[in-house]
Amino acid sequence: MNPRARAAPLRMRPRVLVAPDPKRPKAPPPRTEAVVVGGGIAGVSAAVVLAERGVAVTLLEAAPTLGGRLGAWPHTLPDGTPQVVEHGFHAFFRHYYTWRDILRRIDPDLAFLRPIGGYPVISRSWPPEDLTGLPGAPPLNLIALFARSPSLGLRDLLGSDQALAGQLLAYDAVATTAAFDDVPAARFLAELGMSDRAQAMLFEAFARSFFARPAALSAAELIAMFHYYFLGNPEGIGFDAPDTDYLTCIWGPLRTYLERRGVRFHTGTPVRALHPADRWRVETEEGAFETRHVVLAVDPGALKTLVGGSSVPAELARQAELLEEHYERVIERLEGAGYTWYETANFCRPGFMSQHNRAYWLGRDYLGIGVGAVSTLGDERRVTTPRIAPYLEAIADGRPAPAKVELLTPEIRRRERLMLGLRLAEGVERASVEGAVDDDALALLATHGVVAEADGRIVLERRGRLLVHDVVARLSRDDGRP
Ligand SMILES: Cc1cc2nc3c(=O)[nH]c(=O)nc-3n(C[C@H](O)[C@H](O)[C@H](O)COP(=O)(O)OP(=O)(O)OC[C@H]3O[C@@H](n4cnc5c(N)ncnc54)[C@H](O)[C@@H]3O)c2cc1C
């Protein structure tokens, strides 16, 4: 396995996955409204974020109370005592940063959360496991788990297949999914050399606590789970739980918080279907809600039913599936007919590559003439005005057309080279993108057969070419990150 990929988790560098575009407006236009379907954690969180930005939110929830799977509802016991009933125990993990931020709206210090002593996994046959209290930083947490676990020994760690064990450490959303989503988790664990007891006490118990059938779990899902709870965050697997029922400490206060911001709640109102017209038409038994924006925050089963009962989303889902299939078929047909796949979205017969497009992908100079035309000459990019009147006026006066000019710094040049060069079958010359490439990401993607580096060039492998945007995003070095 690649040593650089192995070193990656040691650093625990937070990565910015979605950077806000500073040019986008900070607030929505006045009178923006939205309908949120589903009043669980996801729907209520969406309502919080939208209402705080001034959006007029209507929340539709099928159940009589908020909370969904974290729900809690009032009940009267046979002797007349009022009692709040809940779905069951929930661990509030310390690395659920977003959920904790939402909860800080109603309790800035999160004083209602108390640490829990342990998370024991018990068995009739084997001694119990406790997954709490491990050191925060990987791989210390992993070593500590193996060292203290009665089901696992350090010998298991050292005796396991090192290349596969490395995959647990070198998790990467794109590369791990590409390499392991078709591999059953059970096979991965068996090949890793884990004993039945270690598998049952750690992985199986863990899978079941997430309602996943271990036999149906893919190795990619297992690695992701392992990474997310054991290795991917400095909090480790620490968690807290509320000191009272969820209705009292969460849903009641969040509802009050949202009502103060104008959110209208319709509980006991299941949405039946969703239809696009001028605006979305959200159909319920109470009547239809017309809106321009819809947030679907229902559980996966309900989402499937809802989408199945609606017109356009069902069509979109069908088209998305077809598109993926078509892409594979298009490649097969064109290659079979003697066309070469020479750029992400371009094929040609030998010798017929588009020369002007190649100049662009290769970062050469090109001249664009006309309204809204783009030219790149040396370190300057020039875009003439896209507006016809000022363009014609300037030409009639014998003046150059108004244009926006952007200076291309060496850094911008290198980033563009990476982004455009990788689209080509021949890839990009390593030296031309030096400094723009994240070496760790490159090594990791190479171990998964997504990219290859040979003869001084970085080239996308076949599977990587279908993922070009994600791969470029992964490979681009982000110097701004901490
Ligand atoms: C017993 C149990 C234990 C758990 N333990 C933990 C734990 O320890 N730690 C942890 O982090 N997570 C735990 N979870 C998982 C956690 O509860 C869920 O991940 C989380 O609550 C999901 O929130 P959600 O908003 O995505 O979905 P949901 O809570 O499912 O919310 C979806 C909402 O949509 C509503 N809805 C569905 N269809 C419609 C419709 N057509 N119209 C209108 N409304 C609709 C539903 O009524 C529901 O209220 C546990 C779950 C359970 C059940």
pLDDT (tens place) for every residue of the chain, 482 residues total: 333 333 344 445 666 777 777 877 778 888 999 999 999 999 999 999 999 999 999 999 999 999 999 999 999 999 999 999 998 888 898 889 999 999 999 999 999 999 887 777 888 888 888 777 777 666 677 778 778 888 777 666 666 666 677 777 778 888 888 888 888 888 888 887 777 888 887 778 778 877 788 788 898 998 888 888 877 777 777 789 999 999 999 999 999 999 999 999 999 999 998 887 778 899 998 899 999 999 999 988 888 888 877 765 555 566 556 666 777 788 888 999 999 999 988 999 999 999 988 988 998 999 989 988 989 999 999 999 888 899 999 999 999 999 999 999 998 899 899 999 999 999 999 999 988 898 888 887 887 778 999 899 999 987 777 777 778 888 887 544 33
How many Å from the N-terminal Cα to the C-terminal Cα in the chain? 27
Closest CA to 462 of 433, 425, 434: 425
Closest CA to 163 of 454, 447, 449: 447
- For residue 41, give the ligand 1 atom closest to its CA: 25
432 exposure class (CB count in 10 Å sphere: 0-12, 13-18, 19+) = middle
Q: Which of 49, 58, 69, 285 to mutate to test the pocket of ligand 1 (most atoms within 8 A of CB)?
A: 69
pLDDT of residue 13: 62
CA separation for the pair 356, 374 (Å, rounded): 13
**Cis amide leading into 120 (omega within 30):** no
pLDDT of residue 77: 94
298 C-alpha to center of ligand 1: Å? 8
Sheet strands (E) in 192-310: 239-242, 264-266, 271-276, 280-284, 287-291, 294-296
User: What are the φ/ψ torsions at residue 282 (nearest 5 degrees)?
Assistant: -100, 110
Q: Do the beta carbons of residue 395 and residue 409 sit within 8 Å? A: no
Token pair listed for 409: 């710094």
> Which residues line the pocket of ligand 1, CB cutoff 6 A?
37-43, 60-63, 68-70, 87-88, 90-91, 93, 270-271, 297-299, 302, 306
38 C-alpha to center of ligand 1: Å? 9
68 C-alpha to center of ligand 1: Å? 4
CA separation for the pair 320, 344 (Å, rounded): 19
- For residue 87, give the ligand 1 atom closest to its CA: 1
Q: Write the residue with the smallest CA distance to atom 19 of ligand 1.
A: 69
Q: Which of 299, 304, 305, 310 to mutate to test the pocket of ligand 1 (most atoms within 8 A of CB)?
A: 299
Sheet strands (E) in 77-209: 82-86, 92-93, 113-115, 120-121, 129-130
pLDDT of residue 129: 83
pLDDT of residue 75: 93
Q: Write the residue with the smallest CA distance to atom 35 of ligand 1.
A: 38
- For residue 303, give the ligand 1 atom closest to its CA: 38
Token pair listed for 291: 């809106």
pLDDT of residue 156: 66
- For residue 44, give the ligand 1 atom closest to its CA: 25
pLDDT of residue 444: 77
- For residue 306, give the ligand 1 atom closest to its CA: 41
User: What are the φ/ψ torsions at residue 12 (nearest 5 degrees)?
Assistant: 50, 45
- What is the number of other CB atoms lying within 10 angstroms of the CB of residue 43? 23
Token pair listed for 444: 């990791």
- For residue 42, give the ligand 1 atom closest to its CA: 25
pTM: 0.65
